[in-house]
Structure 1
Amino acid sequence: MKKTPLAILGTVLGLMAVVTSTTYARESRLGLMVAAIPEMASSQAQSWRTPQLVRTIEAHSTAVDALSFSPSGRVLLSGGSRSDAHLKLWWLKTGREIDSLRVHQTSVADLAFSADGKILASVGEDGGVNLWRWNQEDYTGDYTRTFLGHRSNLLSLAITSDSKVLVTGGLDGIRVWDLRNQRPLYTLANFDNPTYSLALHPKAETLVSGLKNGTIKIWNLNTGQPLYVIRAHQGITSAIAFTPNGRTLVSSGYDGKIKVWDTKTWQLKYTLAKHTGKIRAIAINPVNGT
């Protein structure tokens, strides 16, 4: 019998509001975890040892817009929306709050660690890009600086696998930053390309952006030149992610569809249309690519 190329492995119940962000942690003392955020009914971050619920954290006074695990997988970071705008750190094993920092004037839109675990970056709807030097021994971050240059809401960020380059995207397009020398490099797109999601190929200098008009744009990060444009979704391309080997790109949209793309040809492989509403977030298992 031919193996089904794309199938639902399970459905998690119990999220009584919009899921705004998801993220995976690598194997830790608690096992493989994924955290999901209900937007409206409660300001919680929920942790799952797939597919069982491990813990619910009462995280913020408003909705939670961003999540990231520390490199060790022991600490969960959450970013609040609107008037909250705090970055909070949580011990995943106990759910205890480690620290709370006011990092943006409005929503913390996205969070990410560099691959070497030394840098934590956040972007916000205030247009700021904040950087911290992450201490992996005591799980704290020392603020280093804020990149300014965007003139509108920021929605996404990505860091190259060598931890040298940061890419930020928002309503005014895409900017590229030198992390080592902490300076701007260049602008890839302006206001005609509102960018809602970003992903960097794990083994090549390829950047992918998801746009408001439903397209996916592929860029050469070294030259700043666009390579391909894919007509992907009806409505906003809300999230994009590469599998660990870089052979596949997964995208989601406000049309309720998940699409799987071959990164060698950039042709569509599969479409999963099981959601009845907008899809706002996706995450790829860093171990097996599911």
Structure 2
Amino acid sequence: MKKTPLAILGTVVGLMAVVTSTTYAKESRLGLMVAAIPEIASSQAQSWRTPQLVRTIEAHSTAVDALSFSPSGRVLLSGGSRSDAHLKLWWLKTGREIDSLRVHQTSVADLAFSADGKILASVGEDGGVNLWRWNQKDYTGDYTRTFLGHRSNLLSLAITSDSKVLVTGGLDGIRVWDLRNQRPLYTLANFDHPTYSLALHPKAETLVSGLKNGTIKIWNLNTGQPLYVIRAHQGITSALAFTPNGRTLVSSGYDGKIKVWDTRTWQLKYTLAKHTGKIRAIAINPVNGTILASASRDGVRLWNLNTGQQIAWLTGHQDWVQSVAFSRDGRFLATGGFDRTINIWQANTTEVAFTQ
């Protein structure tokens, strides 16, 4: 049998244990290693005031619900919605499709690579959590496992900076998984905590979750204990993202607002409110940490987080924009829409030569 780049190998069912401890432990119960955060040189910052549309890809037969760049940035992954629940791989250089595999029964809700680039994870509205071993040399992945502990739609995932722990969130709450040993760890929240978005602080000690009622909950991931609750949005908190240095959290909501928070005090710094509809997704440039992309029915807006000013408005889609992702080197932005296409944008700097 021909081996596809995403060859299926096996499935397991994860049984979860509920956290009941209320005692803080100095040693991490998850064995997390805190990763150092490199200083970002100012020379690395790239201008996104006049980004160039490099390519449009006719990607799926339905909306493009999820996007993620491979660690090298040479391959883009996309997840389709509802009936087109396929994971597709694309060469960034040419826009050519590398592979397509149906990985969920319905919508691929979120995708992410581990920081070390060895693991790719996806979650779907079918409640499944899929894992692949990613080969960074030939840009292929071996499907290793599906966790089936959730009982309802999954909507978001996050991976710790040491690549050891996966957190998944959905309508039935939040669960925590051991990536190294490929097993469930514990249930952080249940059906009383319908979770639409997740983000992990770069130091991997703090988890934030966005709820259906518009609040943001801050957790100590090592102890499994909640720390604070922020009343953030009117309606669903749709997306969350930390800046690379961890000092700022950005949230978006179905109220059309973006809110920027100081993570040292969890106080609101300012609100961005130019979108005319629900904000579906946000992404922060991982290199300079100052450029924010936000997606809604009126297109993609780019913001300078240092000033709170809008710097660009991208209107290349014909319908709602559902997903956004920056490449790890910060040079490219991918946007996916209800119009079934993916647009690839490039920062307007020196000419970028694609290599493969």
User: Where on the TM-score scale, by shorter chain, does this alignment land: which range?
Assistant: 0.7 to 0.9
How far apart are 1:48 and its partner, in Å?
9.5
How far apart are 1:157 and its partner, in Å?
0.2
How far apart are 1:94 and its partner, in Å?
0.3
1:19 to 1:232, Cα distance in 2 relative to 1, 3 A: farther
RMSD of equivalent CA atoms: 15.2
Instruction: Name the counterpart of 1:242.
Output: 242
Other structure's SS at 1:269 match: strand
Q: Deviations over 1:137-158 (max 9, x none)?
A: 0101100000011000000000
Of stretches 32-41 and 232-241 in structure 1, the one that deviates more from structure 2 is 32-41
1:186 to 1:11, Cα distance in 2 relative to 1, 3 A: closer
Q: Deviations over 1:185-227 (max 9, x none)?
A: 0011111110000000002410000000000000000110000
- From the CA coordinates, give the structure whose radius of gyration is larger: 2
1:15 to 1:270, Cα distance in 2 relative to 1, 3 A: farther
Of stretches 76-85 and 27-36 in structure 1, the one that deviates more from structure 2 is 27-36
1:19 to 1:242, Cα distance in 2 relative to 1, 3 A: farther
1:168 to 1:130, Cα distance in 2 relative to 1, 3 A: same
Contact 1:252 1:259 in 2 (8 A): yes
Contact 2:40 2:288 in 1 (8 A): no
Residues of 1 paired with 2:58 and 2:43: CA distance? 6
Contact 1:20 1:64 in 2 (8 A): no
* Over 4 Å off, 4+ runs: 1-50
TM-score, normalization by structure 1: 0.83
1:174 to 1:16, Cα distance in 2 relative to 1, 3 A: closer
* Percent of paired sites with the same residue: 98
How far apart are 1:13 and its partner, in Å?
45
1:1-290 pair list within 5 angstroms = 51-290=51-290
How far apart are 1:86 and its partner, in Å?
0.4
How far apart are 1:99 and its partner, in Å?
0.5
How far apart are 1:133 and its partner, in Å?
0.2
1:2 to 1:175, Cα distance in 2 relative to 1, 3 A: closer
* Unpaired runs of at least 5, structure 1: none
TM-score, normalization by structure 2: 0.68
1:148 to 1:134, Cα distance in 2 relative to 1, 3 A: same
Contact 2:177 2:183 in 1 (8 A): yes
Of stretches 217-226 and 22-31 in structure 1, the one that deviates more from structure 2 is 22-31
Contact 2:167 2:177 in 1 (8 A): yes
* Unpaired runs of at least 5, structure 2: 291-356
Contact 2:200 2:207 in 1 (8 A): yes
How far apart are 1:36 and its partner, in Å?
30
Other structure's SS at 2:35 match: strand
Residues of 2 paired with 1:138 and 1:234: CA distance? 45
Contact 2:14 2:184 in 1 (8 A): no
1:91 to 1:28, Cα distance in 2 relative to 1, 3 A: farther
Q: Deviations over 1:28-50 (max 9, x none)?
A: 99999999999999999999996
Q: Deviations over 1:76-118 (max 9, x none)?
A: 0000110110000000110000110110010000000000000
The higher-RCO structure (CA 8 Å, 6+ apart) is 2
1:175 to 1:9, Cα distance in 2 relative to 1, 3 A: closer
How many aligned residue pairs are there?
290
Residues of 2 paired with 1:3 and 1:160: CA distance? 30
Contact 2:175 2:187 in 1 (8 A): yes
Contact 2:156 2:198 in 1 (8 A): yes
Other structure's SS at 1:43 match: helix
Other structure's SS at 2:71 match: coil
